[in-house]
Structure 1
Amino acid sequence: MNFKAICEDPQELDENYPAMVQGVYYDSKGSKIMGIMHVAQGLGPHATIILLHGFPGYEQNFDLAHVLLRSGYNVLIFHYRGSWGSQGDYSINHALEDVESSIDFLKSSFARERYRVDSKKIILIGHSLGGFSAFMTAANHPEIKLVGCIAGFNFGLYGKKLCNDKFLIEKAMKEWGEAVVFLNGLTVRNFIENIIENRDKWNLLNISEGLKNHFLLMVGGKKDAIAPLEDHYRPLAKVLEEKDIDVREVILDGDHSFSAKRIVLAKEVLSWLHEQKIN
């Protein structure tokens, strides 16, 4: 596996079909969401990764996007409704719908022609809420074969833990309070209530059947205090293993954003993609 894309620019440039980064806007349930399209050099069409950020999106993984771009992948990063300039109101339900809208956008004739997208090779990779959203979405998309979950947060299992525990609910509202400030149409109370209400629907353990016939990547952090391994990573990894689902498991000595492990994170993602020989 050649890891030069992590730290080196391409040696040969395609002057006719250069790499480019462009802002994109498309509809999701009547609201315009803002995205950034990274288009790999070459005529293509190119396998295209939807790189999903977390809640509220402080770490947006643009470093990883450029590594993937130099490796020959298109990468779409978008902002869920109600966040970072996208129209509408924020909610986890809306975030999941926005992933669906992004898939539809990449399958459109406009995206295929303008951004050289191979609509038959769409890949989902997400961080935190994005990892949760990637697995939730993939369970309903058998055609999307490659799905990565980086420091994934299992909102359903979390909601089950909070249910009927007033002390934990109050603690959770304090912990999530500052992040909610930046999201349109969302209060910390309705955020927590929504998680509890959807605890069965959003429990990744309950959708594992839908992840069969996918090739999965799971990355966890030993120092992750937001999505601890014991609460979010290991229960899901155990269920996937019991169902004999193809999953590459990686545990790094990192925090929730892998702040000190960005290079090794990029290596693990590239290695997994290379093994699947999709590009």
Structure 2
Amino acid sequence: MAKHILLKNRQLALESHNRKLLYDLSYTADGIEKPLIIFLHGFKGFKDWGNFDLMMEYFTQLNYVFIKMNFSHNGTTLDSPLEFNDLDRFGRNNFIIELEDVQAMIDQIFEDEIIPSREWDKRKLILIGHSRGGSIAILKGSEDKRVQAVISLAGVADLKKFLHDRDIDVWKKGETVFVDNARTGQKMPLYPQFLESYLANKSRLDVISAASKLKHLLIIHGTSDLTVPIDHAFALKNSNPIAELKVIENADHTFGGKHPYIEKLLPMNFKIVCDLIAEYFQNIELKN
């Protein structure tokens, strides 16, 4: 008899930077190979934000294996995954570390039995990312041939969005930039290494170039997104003629999600997002 498996706050040890990250795993143990989705949160986000548990439940019910992971330097801790209690680590985060985190997760899945081999189809690995997580998903999807499809939710087409001119001037002086977290009231540091890492890896971090190389790319964006304007979605689509773009009228950056989220059902626009993703996978064939 099929059984629902839900493993929360599992730890993955990472060799680089002597760090660990947390992830959640959900699937139906029925002995049938299923597609695997790895979900990546955005800037100032975490895997347990808002309605992300409901998204995991949605795709588990459609018989996907679903993993949502924290980036190792997102500012939360192993003991307090819902709070930004390690702002020093947040300040030491950068795009390359996030790419390494995803690589480590993928490697571990393929090398170890995080998921029993009979339960997932190694030919069907999907990355879904929200906002900056969408950028990381696109970049990693273009680097790792094991990734068969990428879904960008309100994704950022140009990572220079995170490097404002006034901040660059501060970093070049060797000083720290602080970003406001409107929800928590915290001032979150970004150290000069953030700029240094970007400049040292600029070609690798070209999201538009990476998007142009993807065989299966679905871009979903809302017309009322004030955080990442819809122009980013059009730029991604223009880079890849075979990519699909779905625009949700009046949807904001989180597609109606918020934190905390106490409702039992997905927000209306986020339900549309999930339905669009499910429909997309019904219409394409994923295989190596």
Query: TM-score, normalised to structure 1's length?
Result: 0.77
**Which residue number in structure 2 is paired with residue 250 of structure 1?**
246
**Which residue number in structure 1 is paired with residue 5 of structure 2?**
20
How far off its partner does 1:199 sit?
Answer: 4.7
**Which residue number in structure 1 is paired with residue 174 of structure 2?**
none
How far off its partner does 1:143 sit?
Answer: 3.1
SS for the counterpart of 2:21 is strand
Letter in 1 for 2:189: T
**Which residue number in structure 2 is paired with residue 235 of structure 1?**
235
Structure 1 residues 20 and 100: CA distance shift in structure 2, 3 A = same
Verify the 8 A CA contact 1:158 1:199 in the aligned structure 2.
no
Number of aligned pairs? 249
Letter in 2 for 1:251: V
216-225 or 24-33, which moves further after superposition?
Answer: 24-33
The percent of aligned pairs where both chains have the same amino acid is 17
Verify the 8 A CA contact 1:52 1:131 in the aligned structure 2.
yes
Verify the 8 A CA contact 1:69 1:75 in the aligned structure 2.
yes
Unaligned runs of 5+ in 1: 1-14
CA distance in 2, matches of 1:194, 1:64: 35
How far off its partner does 1:266 sit?
Answer: 1.3
- Alignment map for 1:121-200 (pairs within 5 Å): 121-158=124-161, 162=164, 165-166=165-166, 176-178=179-181, 187-190=189-192, 193-194=195-196, 197=199, 198-200=201-203
How far off its partner does 1:273 sit?
Answer: 1.3
Query: TM-score, normalised to structure 2's length?
Result: 0.75
Pick the aligned partner of 1:52 from 40, 65, 75: 40
**Which residue number in structure 2 is paired with residue 78 of structure 1?**
69
User: What is the root-mean-square deviation in Å for CA atoms of aligned residues?
Assistant: 3.1
SS for the counterpart of 1:153 is coil
**Which residue number in structure 1 is paired with residue 102 of structure 2?**
99
Verify the 8 A CA contact 1:146 1:216 in the aligned structure 2.
yes
How far off its partner does 1:59 sit?
Answer: 4.6
Deviations 1:196-245 (A, max 9, x none): 6255432212324532xx21100011011111012x2112211212xxxx
SS for the counterpart of 1:139 is helix
**Which residue number in structure 2 is paired with residue 266 of structure 1?**
274
More helix by share: 1
How far off its partner does 1:182 sit?
Answer: 10
Deviations 1:39-77 (A, max 9, x none): 124112221100111112145622211110000000001
**Which residue number in structure 2 is paired with residue 226 of structure 1?**
227
CA distance in 2, matches of 1:168, 1:109: 41
Structure 1 residues 144 and 132: CA distance shift in structure 2, 3 A = same
Letter in 2 for 1:75: F
Q: Is 1:206 aligned to 2:191, yes or no? A: no
Verify the 8 A CA contact 1:221 1:252 in the aligned structure 2.
yes
Structure 1 residues 194 and 187: CA distance shift in structure 2, 3 A = farther
